[in-house]
Structure 1
Amino acid sequence: MYINSKHLQILDLIKSNPDFTLKHLSEILDMSQQHLKLYLKDIYEEILEKTHSTTKVDDMLNKILYFKEAKKILRKSQQFTKNQKIFYFLFFLSKFNSVNLCNISKELDLTPRNLNNYKEIINCLLKKYNLKLKISSQGVKLTGSAFNLRRLHYFLLFKFIIERNYLPYKFRKDVLNNLNFNNFFKLNRDIYNFLNLLNTQHSMHQQSAIFSLWVAFRGNEYEKTTRNLSFNQSLKYKPGHWNKEFFYKIFYFLKNSSFNEIRTESLYLLFNVIDTFCYSKVCFNNLLDSDAKSTLNIFSKYLKKDLLTNSTFFSITHQWIYYCKLKQLFFIDDFSLITLNLTNIPNSNILNATKEIKQIIPNFTIFEGILLWFIFSKNEIPKEINIFVFKNLEKKIVPIIISEIYKKHNVQITEA
């Protein structure tokens, strides 16, 4: 039986939402009911060790829901997906520069023939980072600048942190469990303070982006880091649209925190991340180009129209639409919110908005929709509180949403 991360995601969704029907599950997962049935059949047969034969879907769902050891059993059988093989392989190339194909093929069942089949996907990704794949009798290696190798490593690590709950055990062990820190708690506190300094809406994804960049570009004692830069020297890295006061505030923080360990060459990348978190309406329009107006029209159906003139709206929305573009490039399988109780999401304005936006931005899923309304809920605008969450929803959903967000994120939301 071929069990992968998708089976585990479906299992978590069933466990978190016991009242969901096949239709509800397929809507949240954006998967056809027929395709979903195949996954349910796999889960059912794996945990109960018997074929489903003519078992009805409702009976399968019920058995899966109440089977206590289901996740443990699926974990033991979990295998790499095609994309996980590709990105696991790329991650080690970005970290070690070259890989012995014989060694990694045992772990991934990745033969030269398999690799040849994957080359189109791999080369398409590497091209964006000016990197090339070189295969020889000695093994496989990436060719390109050290900066671009680190940049690829940064984005791959970000991808894996987002996907961490559903990665195969060996993947998590090799990629995530071996990260070493002198003081993780200090780094975590510095990331939190950094986001506070930017006065931006916090999210796990933002924290993961900053963390991944720090890991990928952390310098050693022989490399030039932010610690070695004077303020005058740092000015050459200042983005042209930043004023000196804002730049100095950011640079002073970097010099006096864990970020003084990052290589100076990464500052351009870090400042680009800051811009992604704090972009304006103009940059939002540039990101979507000809699709910007259509996307805004969809948002205006579910938000008050005057909210679209608020810069905070664009700052929040820009980063999640930018994230959709990143998801598409790195095949990010983001189900970080799947353990929430989503009982009232089907047939809600959140799902309806997501479906419409998805027609323009294919990688925009219900989870981006949920993330958006969650952040809008935290963002208070005079006389317009929690608009996106509660507008046109049944009143009974309100206490459920508030309770779930408080339990998962320790954030108290006030009803408008």
Structure 2
Amino acid sequence: MSVESLTVLLERRFLESMEKKQWSVSMVLVVVSIFFVALNLRPAITGIGPLFNVLLESLHISNTKMSFLTSIPVFCMGLFAPFAVPLQRILGTKTAITFLIIILVLANGLRFLKESYVLLVVTSFAVGFAIALIGPILNAYIKKKFPNRFTTVVGIYSFGIGTGATLSAALTLPFYSRFHESWTIALGSWAILAIIALCIWVLAIQNQELLETSVLTKNEARNPWKNVRAWTILIYFGIQTSLFFSIMSWLAPILQAKGFSLVAASSMLTFLSIVQMIGNILVPILMEKWSSRISWLFSLSILGTIGFVLLWLGSGSLLWFAVLIIGIVLSGLFPIGLLLPLDEARNDEEANSWSSMVLSGGFMISSIIPILIGYCYDVTGNHTFTYMIFLILMMGITATTIMLKRK
């Protein structure tokens, strides 16, 4: 081989290595952008909880009206999820996500303006609309962009959601105290996090080649609304989401009924959130090695049943153990719920349409169960039916797992 040929070969390999390095850095930046987008999918909702009594007194409204501030966005998350596919066809992935993050920036930022219940309702609606569409679009994007590592990336995505919820629950009240007890600043300050996510997202994908849904092979895509397996996944997602919202709403009252103080009950709720946050990233990583979704679901079903029985019958330190188990179970059920429609999808069109259907129906179901628990408690005055509902939901997880096992 001549010196000239050797030089050309070395230059070629050097350029290939540089391109590979550049690709790796680019992919890392994309994953970081997905994480920061996920961070913004809960604070506008979960930030209301810590200021519940403050808003109640400041706005002079009833508890029922206050409940709309959390129920409206959750319902919207289900109502508008099917519109993710047409929006992505019209705008494309890059522009659609950018547009929806801008809505989150405005929705949070408008809360700076004045102490108004109507303004909170309008911004809650806007938040629910944006979150509803971001979820399915990002799911399909992850499936397409990371075909061999999408389990891990979905784990990072779900970890971002959990982290955002934990941060808003933990920091909204300190923001309120720090800024002269102004709840408008405490709620509006989450717009800053959305602005950061917007900047990182635009920077990360500006040079990415995104194949838009409009040019995909749509004729081969199965309609999820006519597919029994898609409905089974929807029911599963609705059950696990119902468990999440129900336990987040009712764990503290349940523990107080068992004799815990408000501070102790709140501490256990925080502990549950932290366990879920850590599990949201660890479980998908473990799934890279043990990939059987069915085995995971059966294991989590058994573990969850044990956890809720301990919560019902246990006392003292056993309750901490029960909360730990429930946190682990919930942290595993959620990412699996995101992965199941992606596992079934044969192309990007299906990844988007199946995810939007599952998220749509699932979130609508999850807005019903916490209300049912509240009604049963109002009628009976105790939490016996609450525990029974939790165990029935775990049985539902087991039943849908058996159905999913049948090909």
Does the pair score TM above 0.5?
no
Query: What TM-score do the two structures reach when normalised by structure 2?
Result: 0.26
Query: Greater share of helix residues, 1 or 2?
Result: 2
Query: What TM-score do the two structures reach when normalised by structure 1?
Result: 0.26
